[in-house]
Each structure stands twice: as structure tokens, then as C-alpha cells.
Structure 1
């Protein structure tokens, strides 16, 4: 059994013109995970992934894949790794099948892998069509087929749903979710689409301005999603004074009082106190933060990422 993380970085840093684009990032990705690498555009996601693949040299820090230093075992490591970084590369005048044959011969892979990956990415019926005539979604799937051709132990995908329509996004999402169990793959998928990471990943890292702000299981992140109870009332200032006499310390937000999660009996007790104090309660709502809200709390970024 593999006791090493599949990916481990220490103090990984990349500086351009004196400004760190990636700033002392310590990543750990375990075998079999779908690791969602989340952050707004320009946060440092692509630069980090390029350093994991040896496409960009770190200014500082180390990268280990499969327990080995990338610097010392690059060829061996990359033979076990598939990737789709930024936009897919292909020869537009060649068919999808011919593009895959070029890759298969370059990497000395079994020819049978071509048919298999074409079926996996649902391009089997378009294998003889020139890649230059593919739709954006088909080009993305061709890039994914190339990344899968060696059936790698580690698959690194940078914004794989970029530019796709909702149906295409759903297809890629379901494909990614199926790969770890079917082919024993570990997957790193970067995105600025919060809903995609929430629906796909088993663990997550959040990066902003080059700094890793959170890393852990998706359940850990969602555990920060504590419920809050909102009372909409007509006189918040007087309500706070009344409730303080009974030991309650709510937060006042405009016409609302906000309490941390509490049982129904406690909600009923607060409501009773307010009504007895001649405070009109027009609404009681329990709310939870979405992954997007947690992301915004961590990064301070605006919603339009």
C-alpha cells in the first residue's frame, strides 16, 4: 500500500518580476482523491499545476509526485501522469483518431488504448472527423482523451469545463467522478466554478493571490457551513436590549437578529420573548452558507470570479 501522498509540495513558490504568483504553497493529495483546486482567475492555479508537471521551474520549494522528487525522477513520474493544461493541443488537419495515433506512437502505448479512450470521452462516432471541425466541447474531450491515453495513475486537469455549455460541463463532471473507481486514478482538477468543485471533488484546496488558504476534505470545508437563525423584526435595537436580559447575544444586521444554530425549542423561546416584549416578528429563517459563501469569506473576492 502506498504510504506517500501522490502529490506533496513544500514551500512551493514562483516569482515573476519580484512578485510571487505562487507563495509558499504546501499541497498534499492522497491516492484516489479527486482534489479540487479552487480559486479566482489569476490566483496561481495554472502556475502551480505547471510546476507539478515540470513545465515551470519553481523559484523556491520542492515537488514530490509518487513519493519521488520531480527534479530527479521527471521522466519516470511523467510516464505515470496525464494532463490537460489550459487549452487542448491538437493538429487541426488530422482527425481525432489520427491525433490520438500520433500521441500513442510518441509514447509507445498499446494501440487498443485509442479505442478505449474514444469510448470513454464519447468521441467514438467522430473519430474520422478533422479535429479542426470539432466543437469546443469535442476539442476539450479530445484533449481529455489524450491525457487519458496512458491510463495514468495521476490526472491533472486545468479548468477542463472552460467554455463548455451546461450539458458539456455535466458530461465532463460525470466522467471525472467515474475515473478514480474505474481506473484507480488520482485526479487534480482546477476550477473557478465553485459549484463544479462542490459537486465533483472529495477534497479541496483554495488558493487566492498565490497563497493556499484552505486544504482538506470537502466534508471539512462544509463543516464550516454552520447554520444561522435569522429573526426579521420591526425594532432590532429594542429587541437586543430585551434579549440581553435573558442572556442572549444576537448579531444585529439591519432589520434582522442573527443567532448561531440552536434547537427548535430555543428558537421558540426567543420568539416568545420577543412577542412578549411587543416586538413584531415577521419571519424566522434558518440559513447555511454554500461553498461559494465560504470561499468568499476566505478570499474576500467578489462573486463574479
Structure 2
């Protein structure tokens, strides 16, 4: 696959402290890349460096296989973005705002209405933006970013502050972009549940460092299951099963076993019953993606 965005040891310091440190991002063509992390993890700073809005202290940004510093105009002409919150003139209509961006980006007339149709604002074009709901303003911002039908779309927390219906609309819109228009999407969020539903790959950042990068399938593979067995005499059960080759840890009122296959669970249960140790409960405990995210980013951090 062709790399659309890549960074090498990207770093940014403010007042001597790193907010992004040695970050290596790899976004491939046609992906929806979810850039995840708690608030303050360095997501917005990273996206601003990729777009040339903030100068890194160290590292290299490449977009479309070209170094950003040497190909700035070419890269930005093929990139759309919405960082933090959309910019607009509230006293102008949606269409008037779009026309301003059209002139700045020098795109054809037909692109204006096409972008408004994609975000389902084509019936609201004559309404002043001050009268738009928060969700409509977000959709207008995305329409502005989409107007040039870029190869790369960068969205920073695009569902922030939206109600569930608005979040659902933005989610379905983003999911359609790679297949319908060949647009690669890089989207940041602090909500794992949001990214889980749309992303094909993820990068998880915490305190400016990459904690995980890979496909959603690879992230889910980290959610290995444990088996918990509760008996009337856990100490005796643990000793017996250890002698049979089953290693366990005591957690609360249960014994916890890692990576047991079904046949091994049957054997362990049979050994306990044969030794007249009453088995009260056997249950599987599988880490959710939320648990994995919290493990990677630190449970004390707010999401």
C-alpha cells in the first residue's frame, strides 16, 4: 500500500517540555486512520505539524511521499482539514461562506454544491450560519474541507459537542469517503467507541508518545481472555492445579488463568471435581477495547 502520511521522530517542545516526542505515524492510502488519545495527549499539535501550522522542533513530515517543507503548496492543494472548530462568517449564509473558500482554493463551481450535498446542507444554503445548529456548523466545516475533493482529509475531533444524532451523521459521512471519493481520512478523537466504529487502523498517543499503532484487528488481538475459577477452597485448588501444570494467580475470590484452551478448562475442572473440591463458578473475562485503551493511556487520565 502507498503511504499518504508518514512522520519520522516528530517532536515539539513548549517551554522546554515535550508535548509530542519522537512520533512515527504511518497512514496508508484509502485508510480511515483513527488518532486516539486522552485530552492533552498531543493529538492537535501533531495534526498542526502535519499541516505546517506549527513548526516541529525535530523530525520530518512526509505527505504523498514528499517532504512537507520542500513541497508545501503542492501538498496543501491536495489536502483538506478541519482543526479544532470550523471557521466561518456567522453573518453570511452557508453558500456565501462556501464561495469564499471556493475562491481561495480556486475550485470549480460544481464542487460547491457537490460538497454541500455530501454533508446534507444543500437545503440550508441560504440560511445565515449564526442560525445553524452546532452539528450543521460542523458539517459546513467538513464541506469546506471537502470542496476541493482532496486526496487527504484531516479532521480534529469532528464530533466534539454533537448530540448522538449529529455524531451518527458525521460517522456515516466519514465512513463513505474512501470508497466513494478515494479520500484517505486521518481523524483524531479521545473517544475510542467513536473511532472503533469507523477506523480501519489506529494510532494511540499518550503524553506525546505513540503507545500503539496498527490495524483495528491487531488492537482487538490484544484483548486476550482470562479464565476465572471460583471454588470452596481456592488455596487447595491452586496447589492441585499447579501440580497438573496449570499456573494461576489469586484475584479477589477467584483463581485467574491466562490463555486456557477449552480442552484445558475441561481438564482443570475434572481434576478439581475428582479431588472433591467444589467448583462454584467458571467464567471467561475478556478485555474490552476500552480496557486496552485505558491500559495504554493510563487509567488515571480523564477521557
Aligned to 2:103: 105
Could you list the per-position Cα deviations for residues 236-267 of structure 1 after superposition, in whole angstroms to 9, with x for gaps in the alignment?
Answer: 22221121121110122111112223332321
Residues 95, 48 of structure 1: alpha-carbon distance in 2 compared, 3 angstrom cutoff: same
Contact kept in structure 1, 2:39 and 2:302, CA below 8 Å: no
After TM superposition, list the pairs within 5 Å mapping 1:83-102 onto structure 2. 83-102=81-100
After TM superposition, list the pairs within 5 Å mapping 1:202-281 onto structure 2. 202-281=200-279
Deviating above 4 A after TM superposition, structure 1's stretches of 4 or more consecutive aligned residues are: none
Contact kept in structure 1, 2:7 and 2:23, CA below 8 Å: yes
Distance in 1 separating the partners of 2:36 and 2:275 = 47
Q: Does 1:286 align with 2:284?
A: yes
CA positional deviation for 1:185: 0.8
Could you list the per-position Cα deviations for residues 176-198 of structure 1 after superposition, in whole angstroms to 9, with x for gaps in the alignment?
Answer: 11100111111100000011111
Distance in 2 separating the partners of 1:22 and 1:111 = 40
Contact kept in structure 2, 1:7 and 1:29, CA below 8 Å: yes
Moved more, 17-26 or 260-269: 260-269
Distance in 2 separating the partners of 1:74 and 1:60 = 17
TM-score (norm 1): 0.95
Residues 271, 214 of structure 1: alpha-carbon distance in 2 compared, 3 angstrom cutoff: same
Moved more, 58-67 or 268-277: 268-277
CA positional deviation for 1:222: 1.2
Distance in 2 separating the partners of 1:47 and 1:10 = 15
Contact kept in structure 1, 2:19 and 2:208, CA below 8 Å: yes
CA positional deviation for 1:235: 3.0
Q: Does 1:143 align with 2:141?
A: yes
Distance in 2 separating the partners of 1:104 and 1:33 = 26
CA positional deviation for 1:101: 0.9
SS of corresponding position for 1:125: coil
Aligned to 1:13: 11
Aligned to 2:112: 114
CA positional deviation for 1:38: 0.5
TM-score (norm 2): 0.96
CA positional deviation for 1:18: 0.4
Could you list the per-position Cα deviations for residues 111-156 of structure 1 after superposition, in whole angstroms to 9, with x for gaps in the alignment?
Answer: 1111111111111221111111111111111111111010100000
Could you list the per-position Cα deviations for residues 257-298 of structure 1 after superposition, in whole angstroms to 9, with x for gaps in the alignment?
Answer: 122233323212212222333433222222322211111222
Aligned to 2:173: 175
CA positional deviation for 1:303: 6.9
Moved more, 270-279 or 194-203: 270-279
Give the gaps of 5 or more residues in structure 1. none
Aligned residues: 303
Distance in 1 separating the partners of 2:90 and 2:232 = 65
